[in-house]
Structure 1
Amino acid sequence: MVSLTSNSIIKNNNLVIAREKSRRLSEFLLFH
């Protein structure tokens, strides 16, 4: 159960990081 919870937390963190990276990348492409 604990491992399942930590796995989902890691997945959520990766989603947030990927979203942030793609947002920064699109901003970079827009403004340069």
Structure 2
Amino acid sequence: MINHAAARGRTCIHILTFVISIRISVVIASRCAR
């Protein structure tokens, strides 16, 4: 169970960082477009 929970936490962190990086890239793109 501990290993499963750790894997779950890692996947959640990876998804969060992926979404945050996409949002940052979109904000930068919108600023550069202007």
What is the TM-score with the length of structure 2 in the denominator?
0.90
Task: Let me know the Cα RMSD of the aligned residues.
Answer: 0.3
Aligned length: 32
Computing the radius of gyration from Cα coordinates, the structure with the larger value is 2
Q: Give 1:20 shift.
A: 0.3
Structure 2, unmatched stretches of 5+, are: none
Distance 2:22 2:3 in 1: 28
2:18 pairs with 1:10? no
- Percent of matched pairs sharing the same residue: 6
What is the TM-score with the length of structure 1 in the denominator?
0.95
Structure 1, unmatched stretches of 5+, are: none
